[in-house]
């Protein structure tokens, strides 16, 4: 009764301070986990001699571990902007699906409210918000609250990683150079859809290696991944 009155009185759409607090507290552990990943990204940026301000701006403005890791792997001077844009768009295409799902979840939330929140949209905050809605607590405040600790961890971690007095050399330097690859590798299990993924993934990997050895590393992901996705479509599967 009280809850129903509160929602009805406070606004005509689901965005409450209570849900914001609940989302923020639930996502607090992400300050540590995203912070560690951000530290790694900061160390990698310093290895490129990118500069402190651009390194932090990268994590603040782009705010996508996957896209940043992939574009880090493409880094050169002058930067290959077209390849980076294509890679960023391709790796972040999943946000289109998440955004479309959020539109179904929050059709009554005004754009002036939801569009700024989407700047901080992350895989985990989307999943948490969807799970919260399935428990009967549909609220855009929860999306904002759960997104904030993730952003704080990622951006703060990048700054800390860049500024920390770590100077990798030898095996550590090789391992640091490997970290962008580790970011993407860590996401692989989340994309595995069972054995139906095997054939498309094998094609993606084989074409990716062939492209890296002929055309160049920059295009391996796009052409290889495109080939695997095409196989998926032709097979009529869902992976």
Partner 1 sequence: MPDWRILAVIVVLGAVSYALRTGGFLAASALPQGGLLPRLLRMAPGNLFIAFVAAGIWQGGLPSLVGCCGAVAAMAATKREWAALGAGFAGAAFASALL
Nearer to partner 1, 78 or 165 (CB): 78
Nearer to partner 1, 20 or 126 (CB): 126
Token reading at 26: 């639930």
Nearer to partner 1, 25 or 100 (CB): 100
Backbone angles phi, psi at 11, to 5 degrees: -165, 170
Nearer to partner 1, 2 or 189 (CB): 189
- 3-state SS class at 238: coil
Backbone angles phi, psi at 137, to 5 degrees: -120, 65
Token reading at 211: 């492209």
Contacts of 24 (CB under 8 A, 6+ apart): 145, 146, 148, 149
For residue 22, the minimal CB distance to partner 1 (Å) is 22
- 3-state SS class at 166: coil
For residue 180, the minimal CB distance to partner 1 (Å) is 8
* Alpha-carbon span 156 to 68, nearest angstrom: 15
For residue 11, the minimal CB distance to partner 1 (Å) is 19
* Alpha-carbon span 181 to 47, nearest angstrom: 15
* Alpha-carbon span 150 to 124, nearest angstrom: 9
Nearer to partner 1, 111 or 135 (CB): 111
For residue 19, the minimal CB distance to partner 1 (Å) is 19
For residue 2, the minimal CB distance to partner 1 (Å) is 31
């Amino acid at each position: 009764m009280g809850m129903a009155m509160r929602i009805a009185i406070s606004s005509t759409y689901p965005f409450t301070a209570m849900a914001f607090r609940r989302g923020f507290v639930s996502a607090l552990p992400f300050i540590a986990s995203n912070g560690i990943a951000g530290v790694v990204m900061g160390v990698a940026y310093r290895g490129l001699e990118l500069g402190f301000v651009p390194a932090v701006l990268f994590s603040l403005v782009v705010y996508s571990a996957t896209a940043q890791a992939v574009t880090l792997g493409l880094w050169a001077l002058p930067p290959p902007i077209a390849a980076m844009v294509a890679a960023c768009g391709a790796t972040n295409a999943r946000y289109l699906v998440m955004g479309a799902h959020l539109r179904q979840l929050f059709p009554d939330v005004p754009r002036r409210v939801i569009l700024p929140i989407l700047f901080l949209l992350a895989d985990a905050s989307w999943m948490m918000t969807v799970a919260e809605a399935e428990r009967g607590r549909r609220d855009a405040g929860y999306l904002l609250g759960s997104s904030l600790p993730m952003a704080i961890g990622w951006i703060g971690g990048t700054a800390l990683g860049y500024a920390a007095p770590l100077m990798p050399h030898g095996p550590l330097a090789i391992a640091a150079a490997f970290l962008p690859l580790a970011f993407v590798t860590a996401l692989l299990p989340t994309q595995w859809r069972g054995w139906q993924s095997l054939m498309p993934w094998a094609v993606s990997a084989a074409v990716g290696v062939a492209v890296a050895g002929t055309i160049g590393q920059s295009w391996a992901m796009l052409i290889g991944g495109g080939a695997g996705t095409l196989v998926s479509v032709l097979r009529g599967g869902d992976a």
